[in-house]
């Protein structure tokens, strides 16, 4: 018994220093990665390109991860006509293009736009998106909706250049996003993945259906997994996305 105790003591005395060494030499963290995020929205008054370095290797901007906004980048967009427009600088990491419906940068259905980003450290990123060929005129609709008995039925015509269609539902309580083809049926009792009602009683709910390009669909329909790597973004020189959307339907529900 004495010999057995001595053997155990020897094993522990060897194992403990090894454990301490392993704890003091953890696996090296991911190096910072350049991340670019931007979506050309045909009906938005202002587009914004986000540029930052993700210290976690993830492409989701999260201040808790101590991601670093890049404030020294040159950000430009080139139109189908070959006109290059440079962003005015906003807050660090935010590069706005105000009123893209001006003559300096006309967003139009079916047009292809190229993004170029260059930082003071010599990093470069580029991407191209083609806006789906959605109709320009969009008439919002309003209706009442009883979440306990009503079901939302929506359908719309197919749009040239669209990879898929995003149905985005927003209220003061929750947001909900789903990709579908050219129709959707949603019960009034539908819940988000977090268990919140998509159509909360006593609120106004905005439903927007948008045609989206391949870049947008691949990026936002894939949930980034920190172990599997970032979602596909089709950018050269950075992770993230440069995509485009065009709304095809807008609906406001008064939910009771």
Tell me the three state secondary structure of residue 117. strand
Q: What is the pTM of this model?
A: 0.81
Calculate the alpha carbon distances from 44 to 164, 184, 238 in Å. 20, 25, 25
Are 219 and 166 in contact by the 8 Å Cβ rule? The answer is no
Spatial distance between the Cα atoms of 224 and 206, rounded to a whole number of angstroms = 26
The encoded tokens of residue 26 equal 């953890």
Per-residue pLDDT of the chain (256 residues; tens, 9 = 90+): 444 344 333 333 333 343 444 444 455 556 788 999 999 998 887 889 999 998 765 666 554 556 899 998 999 999 998 989 898 776 889 998 876 544 456 788 999 999 999 999 999 999 999 999 988 767 778 999 999 999 999 999 999 999 999 999 999 999 999 999 999 999 999 999 899 999 999 999 999 999 999 999 999 988 644 455 566 779 999 999 999 999 999 999 999 9
- Which residue's entry shows tokens 């290059």? 84
Instruction: Please tell me the distance from the alpha carbon of residue 165 to that of residue 217, in angstroms, as a whole number.
Output: 8
The angle formed by the CA atoms of residues 55, 61 and 62, to the nearest 5 degrees, is 80
């Amino acid at each position: 018994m004495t010999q057995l105790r001595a053997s155990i003591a020897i094993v522990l005395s060897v194992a403990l220093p090894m454990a301490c060494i392993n704890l003091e030499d953890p696996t090296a963290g991911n190096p910072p990665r350049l991340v670019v995020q931007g979506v050309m929205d045909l009906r938005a008054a202002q587009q914004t390109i986000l540029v930052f370095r993700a210290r976690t290797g993830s492409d989701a901007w999260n201040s808790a991860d101590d991601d670093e906004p890049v404030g020294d980048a040159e950000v430009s967009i080139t139109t189908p006509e070959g006109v290059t427009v440079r962003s005015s600088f906003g807050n660090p990491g935010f590069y706005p293009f105000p009123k893209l419906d001006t003559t300096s940068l006309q967003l139009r259905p079916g047009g292809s736009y190229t993004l170029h980003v260059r930082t003071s450290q010599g990093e470069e990123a580029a991407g191209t998106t083609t806006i789906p060929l959605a109709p320009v005129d969009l008439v919002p609709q309003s209706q009442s909706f009883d979440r306990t008995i009503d079901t939302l039925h929506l359908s719309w015509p197919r749009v040239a250049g669209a990879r898929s269609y995003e149905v985005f539902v927003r209220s003061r309580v929750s947001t909900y996003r789903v990709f579908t083809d050219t129709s959707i049926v949603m019960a009034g009792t539908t819940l988000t993945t977090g268990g919140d009602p998509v159509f909360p009683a006593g609120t106004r709910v905005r439903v927007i259906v948008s045609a989206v390009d391949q870049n947008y669909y691949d990026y936002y329909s894939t949930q980034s997994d920190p172990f599997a790597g970032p979602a596909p973004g089709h950018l050269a020189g950075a992770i993230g996305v440069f995509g485009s959307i065009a709304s095809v339907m807008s609906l406001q529900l008064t939910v009771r």
